[in-house]
Amino acid sequence: MFSFCTDPSVLPDWQWFACYLTSATHLSFFRAFGVVMLLLAVTAPAALAMGMAGALALRSRIMPLSALGRAYVNIVRGVPDIVFFLFVPIALGQGIEWTLHQINCPDWDQPIRQGNDFIVCAEARMPPGDASAWARNAYGFGMAVIAFALVFGAFVANTLHGAMRAVPQAQIETAESFGMTARQAFRRIVLPQMWIFALPGLSNIWQILIKATPLLFLLGIQDVVYWARELGGQKTSLYTYPHPDWRVWYFLALLVFYLFLTWISERGFGWLTLRLSRGQATAQGERMRKGAA
């Protein structure tokens, strides 16, 4: 980046570090922090939507829908997360390629599965063979979001379902006695009040989601853990900036980054708890009422 970076071996320490920290690989390392934040920003609402759908399915009086919700929640919660993180992108990717293969290559006369290989025509490859690096990264990131949303959506569904059941049944019965339908009672009574009961569980799930972001490396995405390991490892004369083993410093930076995210998250959920406790029949709501009196 700087004009004096042509020969790092003759640079004084401050200029060496200036060149080292602004190299192309370090810029990729810095961008990886943005990838983690983007994953959290996209996955959180997606998992919340999946969780709400799962909770409504669990609550449904339609037997097949209720059974589907229970199967989704129990299967995902009972299987190690890493299995889903590896299975979902592979299964979904092969499903998309198989569908495109049936559409684009109806005359294909070879079996798709040949031993351990999954072979489709060139027109069905996802991403396409001539796709840019940006398109490939976007495709991998999309698969990661789906995998994360499916896994954490099941935990959110269980949390939201429990929060819905925590709303006093007497309030629902009172609403129905005043002429509200079951849907109206849910929308006006259960839905506004359940969040205060769901927040502790959602806070825990959010923290686990933050800790799970390094699993992006397993999905082929060069995240912060990947770059910390690569850049911190001991270099040889083949590299432009040889240095000793500095992995402890890179992973220390990741420790600070994740602790900062945790601290910000705790403050955010604390503010939400106070906000949603106003007027609620909870211990926090009671303390707020007494404080205002």
pLDDT tens track for 241-288: 778 888 899 999 999 999 999 999 999 998 888 888 766 655 454 455
Q: Select from 223, 218, 221, 220 the least CA-distant residue to 258.
A: 223
245 occurs within a structural domain = yes
* Distance (Å, whole) CA 250 – CA 233: 9
Counted domains in the chain = 1
Domain hosting 105: range is 14-292
pLDDT cut 90: percent of the chain above it = 29
Given this model, what pLDDT does residue 170 score?
A: 87
7 occurs within a structural domain = no
CB atoms within 10 A of CB 36: 21
Alpha helices, DSSP H, located in the chain: 13-21, 24-59, 63-78, 81-104, 133-166, 169-177, 182-185, 191-212, 224-232, 247-277, 283-292
Given this model, what pLDDT does residue 10 score?
A: 66
8 occurs within a structural domain = no
Lowest average pLDDT, out of 32-36, 66-70, 130-134, goes to 130-134
Please give the residue that has the higher pLDDT: either 101 or 1: 101
**Residue 113: φ, ψ to 5°:** -95, 120
pLDDT tens track for 143-184: 889 989 999 999 999 999 999 988 888 888 888 888 888 888
* Distance (Å, whole) CA 163 – CA 160: 5
* Distance (Å, whole) CA 200 – CA 277: 13
171 occurs within a structural domain = yes
5 occurs within a structural domain = no
32 occurs within a structural domain = yes
Could you tell me the pTM of the whole model? 0.82
158 occurs within a structural domain = yes
Question: CATH number, domain at 238?
Answer: 1.10.3720.10
117 occurs within a structural domain = yes
Lowest average pLDDT, out of 34-38, 191-195, 236-240, goes to 236-240
